[in-house]
Amino acid sequence: MTRRLGTGASDADRHRDRRLCRRRTGRGSLRTQITHLIRARCSAGISRLALQLAAGGQITARGTLGSAVQAAPHRHVYDSDQPSPHPSAWQEAMAEISAAVMLVRTDRDAAPQLLVLLTVGCRTLDRFEEERAYLFGIGIPAGFLPSARELGRSDLP
């Protein structure tokens, strides 16, 4: 015959209590069995409390699984270098190119100079015309950009 011990106990607690009662039957009196049940419940409650305190960092968990219960220690992570307040060489070069393109869009004399700068390494007429088309594409008027023959590039096949 099994008894219902305690009120408001969960099904898992009742099941555990029944197992403990059956195991302890024949070993002492009913008082001894009840004492064992009380101790089992108290140790389960203490264990639960210990886990909560260890997880909250209020006590230090030790043993094989102590590190699994405790929160991971704080590790400093390198924030990386802060960007320099001074412009880099690339930023300066891009600013100069942007300023040159803005000037060439309005200055008829500066446009051929930029075209020469961009086409100095061109070995074919097709490559020269690609660079010239690029300058058209960024807003430089076609009338400002001379052809290869007008620039004296008769070396281009």
Evaluate whether 128 touches 122 at the Cβ level (below 8 Å).
yes
- Average pLDDT of the residues of the chain: 77
**Which residues are CB-neighbours of 72 under 8 A, at least 6 positions away?**
none
Span 79-90, average pLDDT = 84
DSSP 86: S
Residue 26 has pLDDT above 70, yes or no: no
Q: What is the pLDDT of residue 9?
A: 58
pLDDT of 24 above 60:
no
Percent of the chain with pLDDT over 90: 6
Mean pLDDT of 89-101: 91
Alpha helix locations (H) across the chain?
A: 11-24, 30-55, 66-69, 89-104, 110-119, 125-137
Task: List the domain boundaries for the chain.
Answer: 11-69, 98-157
Terminal CA-CA length for the chain: 109
Query: What is the mean predicted confidence (pLDDT) over 73-95?
Result: 85
Residue 113 predicted with pLDDT over 50: yes
- Mean pLDDT over 83-98 rounds to 89
Q: Are 156 and 123 in contact (CB under 8 A)?
A: yes
pTM for the predicted model, two decimal places:
0.43
Token pair 């950009």 is at which residue? 145
Find tokens 């607690």 and name the residue: 13
pLDDT digits 0-9 by tens, 30-56: 666 666 666 666 666 777 777 777 777
Q: Report pLDDT for 35.
A: 65
Mean per-residue pLDDT, 105-121: 87
Least confident of 72-76, 87-91, 97-101, 136-140: 72-76
Our CA angle for 14, 10, 52, nearest 5°, is 115
Tell me how far apart the alpha carbons of residues 72 and 49 are, in angstroms, rounded to a whole number.
19
What does the block give as tokens for 135?
């300058």
Residue with the bigger pLDDT between 1 and 103: it is: 103
Joined tokens for residue 79: 């924030």
Q: Is the pLDDT of residue 111 over 80?
A: yes
CA distance 13 to 1: 17
Tokens read off for 42:
């108290």
